[in-house]
Amino acid sequence: MSLNIKEVENVSKLKPFKRYQYFLRKVADFEELWTIVDENNEISLSHIDNSKLISFWSAKDFIKSNLSGNWKKHKPEKIGLDKLGKKIIPLIIENNYLINVFPVNGKSGFVVNIEEFAGQLLFETATKRRKCLRFNDTGRKFLFNPFLKLKLGILLIDS
């Protein structure tokens, strides 16, 4: 997804939670997200207090403002939803990372834990595609998370 300069500027000026909502919509639309990797293609992490954070953006164009300081030699990397579910989410869970969604100019974006992130991304993806609906043994509909293959983000829906 390539963006025009005006969109990058306008979205970058939004408050962190509004950027997070924008991120969820765009990731659901294009089924990809972006992060930063170092010279060894390892995911770059930031730190806040005693927590390690992995950063995500909805498009490569938003990352440029963050490639300075310690991340000057780092580069953007695209992640599809399949890779997110099979490799990145387990890494986040195993290491108890938080998710920093859409930082701008080296400042934190909206910081969220994996349960909230996966649930909200699942809901947005399901809403966009009207997929993921299943019935449980009680006959109630729920959203099932096929790409994460984890018991995260289950949302019961009253019929």
CATH number reported for the structural domain that contains residue 15 in this entry: 3.40.1350.90
pLDDT-derived band at 113, boundaries 50, 70, 90: very high
pLDDT digits (tens, 9 = 90+) for 31-79: 899 999 999 999 999 998 899 999 999 999 999 888 888 888 899 999 9
Domain count, the chain: 1
**Tokens standing for residue 96:** 């108890």
Is there a domain that residue 144 lies in?
A: no
- Residue 48, in any domain of the structure: yes
Q: Which domain holds residue 73?
A: 5-131
Residue 47 lies in a domain: yes
CB contact at 8 A, 132 and 154: no
Residue-level pLDDT at 2: 66
Q: Please choose, from the candidates 31, 112, 120, 126, the residue with its C-alpha nearest in 3D space to the C-alpha of residue 79.
A: 31
| pLDDT above 90 for 109 | yes
Q: Which tens digits make up the pLDDT trace of 65-78?
A: 888 888 888 999 99
Residue 89's Cβ-count burial label (10 Å; 0-12, 13-18, 19+) is buried
pTM (predicted TM-score): 0.79
Provide the pLDDT for residue 143: 47
d(CA 144, CA 48): 32
Residue 143 lies in a domain: no
pLDDT classification of 159: cutoffs 50, 70, 90: very low
Is 56 a domain residue? yes
For CA atoms 46, 124, 146, 142, give the dihedral sign.
positive
> Do residues 118 and 148 lie in contact, with contact meaning Cβ atoms separated by under 8 Å?
yes
Residue 150 domain-assigned?
Answer: no
* Residue 99 belongs to a domain: yes
In a domain, 140, yes or no: no
